[in-house]
Amino acid sequence: MLKRLALLILLLTPLPLVSVPLAAQHMEPTLSDPAAEARARTLSKELRCLVCQNQSIEESNASLARDLRRIVRERIAVGDSDRQVLDYLVSRYGEWVLLTPRFNASTLLLWIGPGLLMALGILAVLMVQRRQRRALAEAPPAAPLSEAERKRLADLMKNEG
């Protein structure tokens, strides 16, 4: 009875629902050399998916990321060094394809900007503190309390405690 029920459910299930998980299991060709495949995966982690933007092409399932992974493997298969693979992709897609931009004249502000902003912030805080200290030092001393003010303060303190 249970076998018939399972067969009936299988026959009544629409074929697209059964085939969807199979379509999601897209297997990419890998390099036959394990060391070369490891290099390809390492390089793929350094490259930005131009569709997802904050994912590496290794993590992304976008079709462009798959194409970029294929290009990385092809370049490694023909004997390119890691630097040559990255240079090739930068020449085609620009510096933006690198998750960690290179240090050069066009990215100088990107690399020194955060430190420069922090130094400017610290400098501003120090200048404000210095100005406040100077204002306190130059302020006239407070006038002494009169006899009536001293009595009032003593009464307030007595009632407080």
Query: What residue spans define the domains of the chain?
Result: 26-102, 106-139
Percent of the chain with pLDDT over 90: 43
Mean pLDDT (the chain, rounded): 84
Which ranges in the chain belong to alpha helices (H)?
Answer: 2-12, 15-24, 34-46, 63-77, 82-93, 108-138, 147-160
CA-based nearest residue to 60, from 91, 69, 85, 92: 69
In this predicted structure, the answer to whether residue 22 has a pLDDT above a threshold of 60 is no
- What's the pTM value of the predicted model, to 2 decimals? 0.56
Measured CA distances, 69 to 12, 121, 146 (Å): 40, 42, 84
Handedness of CA 99, 103, 104, 110 (dihedral sign): positive
- Residue 107 pLDDT grade (very low, low, confident, very high; cuts 50, 70, 90): confident
pLDDT at 91: 92
Distance in angstroms (rounded) separating the CA atoms of residues 57 and 37: 15
- Residue 124 pLDDT grade (very low, low, confident, very high; cuts 50, 70, 90): very high
Residues 6+ apart with CB under 8 A from 139: none
pLDDT at 25: 44
The superfamily in CATH containing domain 26-102 is: Cytochrome C biogenesis protein (1.10.8.640)
pLDDT at 6: 66
